[in-house]
Chains A and B, each alone.
Chain A
Amino acid sequence: MASQVSVFVENKPGRISHIARVLGNNNINIRAITISDRGEYGLINVLTNDPEKAYAVLSNEGFSVSRKYVIGVVMKDRPGALADIAEYLNESDINVSNAYGFILQEGDRAVLILEVENFDRAEQVIRKGGFHTLTKEELHNL
């Protein structure tokens, strides 16, 4: 299972750089980063090659951090690939609370990261639909 860390931050300059520097100094590689903004504060979600270590070093630094399981769906990097998955999720009645994607280095595949409400059921359903979901190890070796 893949996981990301969510960091609570006030909306003020220097928060992203602070987090990125802490991760960098600890040799943690960032795969993707998103921000949920609520005006005066927000969450910075970071997907890294080592979520446990990311959680530990950011907590040590004094941040309020939370670990969250996410589903990483591997898909072809071609038009309509995301639509296929999204339609399937919709038909399977899986509600997505947050989603973001990135392209893999090799060039012809992409990863869609999903935050969902009922994680266990969602992952089962997605696998049953013939989609490949990233394991912790795969995330580490990306």
Chain B
Amino acid sequence: MENMYWDREIETIQREQLRALQLELLNRSLLRAAESDFYKGRIPKSIKNLEALQEIEFTTKNDLRNSFPRGMLAVPLDNIVRLHSSSGTTGRATVIYHTRDDIDNWTEIVARSMYMTGVRKNDVFQNMMGYGLFTGGLGFHYGAERLGALTIPASSGNSKRQIRLMKDFHTTVLHITPSYALHLYTLFIEEGIDPKKDLDLGIAFLGAEPHSEETRVRIEDLYGINAFNSYGLSEMNGPGVAFECQYKKGMHVWEDSYIFEVIDPATGAPVEDGEAGEIVFTTLKREGMPIIRYKTGDVACVLPAPCPCGRTHRRISRIKGRTDDMLIIKGVNLYPMQIEKVLMDIPEVGNNYLIEVDSVDYLDTINVKVEVRPHIFHGEIGELEALKSRIVGDLKNEILISPKVTLVEPNSLPKSEGKAVRVIDNRKGENI
């Protein structure tokens, strides 16, 4: 029988051995991290056992922002071969640095993850995620090449070309956002193509957006494929942090690369297995920018039972939500604060707005409503049009998504006194 593991030894390592390995790697990580301005003096250079990790302070997204651009860099910049940065143009950007070995380790766990779901070197992998600063595209790209699959760097968008590539090169594996998979299906129907009969698809990786089990099943039915959920975040490299195996019951977190904890976000104390809490990660292998006890804001729980696949790395549930107000729109993470900052900088708008997120034809849309109050209205249509395009332009610069802007009558939005609702997310269920 064909080998079902990419790296049998590490994937099926005994828990006790794994813990010993983790402690060893953690101490290396702490030592390296202590070289950075941020962690110097904040963390011990070594600890005696894994439990002692819980005494170390958490690292937050704000810490990453505040230490931009080099506060968490742990090696000379000479040794860095790549960075991935969030897009913010308003000074809220974050950056992650990778050495050559970091890229190599990341590539290895992505290859391992893909292999786990059944991808082999004779597969044709069409990577439909954006290439660039976003980690989803490049992370999978190198993993697939390491595995040996024929990799098509299709990147995102251009649906007709995507469909043609699938036909021309007999694509067998897709990497796609779940909303785009659903949207693309309607185009297949328009083109008279039945993906089940007319294509060679077998596997899809659904990433970058939390989605429900129902959405997975729907995509599997429409395309006649196996769809796998995965989890990753740029702070922890990107894709490949946790991945489903063939049983599709939770995602194995690669515990030889990350220590993860599930905590009560309010108290910081660990929660019981099976209980939902915020996921906290510590990098075990990253040299360029180790991060210790990173609070992800993602809520999930540990599935305690051993998995029938034989892998000993523990599984987490689907992401059940966020501890903060982060929105995921078209696979892009953004905070209402980013939008608010842009709008506040436009004096005519001020705090006189409402953000509506919707799903139209399975594609996320964002609509910013602005009240045309008397002080901004001078009776000129041209002036209103100019205001509208200015808002669209400024927002696109910041969040990289083109929002719709709607001008509405005065007093039609919720009042700004007290805690006004500024974001209405109408995408039912898909975010949970």
Contacts and interface: CB of A to CB of B under 8 A. Distances in A.
Interface stretch (B42-50, B106-114, B379-387): B379-387
Contacts of B372: 8, 41, 64
A64 B381 contact: no
Contacts of A6: 379
Nearest to A8: B372
A64 B406 contact: no
B385 A64 contact: no
Contacts of B412: 10
A63 interface: yes
Contacts of B407: 8, 10, 40-41
- Between B373, B385, B410, B412, the greatest number of chain A beta carbons within 10 A of the residue's beta carbon is seen for B410
B353 to A, nearest CB: 15
A95 interface: no
- Between B373, B379, B406, B409, the greatest number of chain A beta carbons within 10 A of the residue's beta carbon is seen for B379
B377 interface: yes
Nearest to A9: B409
Interface stretch (A65-73, A76-84, A106-114, A128-136): A65-73
Interface in B345-398: 372-374, 376-379, 381, 384-385
Interface in A82-138: none
B247 to A, nearest CB: 49
Nearest to B409: A10
B83 interface: no
B377 A66 contact: yes
Contacts of B384: 8, 38, 41
Contacts of B379: 6, 43, 66-68
Contacts of A40: 406-407
Contacts of B373: 64
A36 B381 contact: yes
B377 A62 contact: no
Contacts of A38: 381, 384-385
Given A10-B408, A40-B406, A65 B374 contact: yes
B122 interface: no
- Between B372, B378, B385, B409, the greatest number of chain A beta carbons within 10 A of the residue's beta carbon is seen for B409
B381 A62 contact: no
Contacts of B408: 10, 41
A37 to B, nearest CB: 9
A66 B410 contact: no
A26 interface: no
B3 interface: no
B410 to A, nearest CB: 5
A69 to B, nearest CB: 10
B411 interface: yes
Given A8-B372, A38-B385, A41-B384, A66 B378 contact: yes
Nearest to B406: A40
A34 interface: no
A63 B409 contact: yes
Contact of A43 (B374, B381, B406, B411): B381
A27 interface: no
A9 B410 CA distance: 9
Interface in A43-74: 43, 59, 62-68
A68 B275 CA distance: 64
A65 to B, nearest CB: 7
A6 B99 CA distance: 62
A59 B139 CA distance: 57
A11 to B, nearest CB: 10
A63 B378 contact: no
Interface in A1-51: 6, 8-10, 36, 38, 40-43
A62 B143 CA distance: 59
A59 B409 CA distance: 12
- Between A6, A8, A42, A66, the greatest number of chain B beta carbons within 10 A of the residue's beta carbon is seen for A8
Contacts of B409: 8-10, 62-64
A63 B10 CA distance: 68
Contacts of B376: 64
Nearest to A42: B381
A41 B406 CA distance: 9
A43 B378 CA distance: 11
A47 B210 CA distance: 55
17 contacts: A8-B377, A8-B407, A10-B409, A36-B381, A38-B385, A40-B406, A40-B407, A41-B407, A42-B381, A43-B379, A62-B410, A62-B411, A63-B409, A64-B373, A64-B377, A66-B378, A68-B379
Given A8-B372, A41-B384, A66-B377, 7 more contacts: A8-B407, A10-B407, A10-B412, A41-B408, A43-B381, A62-B409, A65-B374
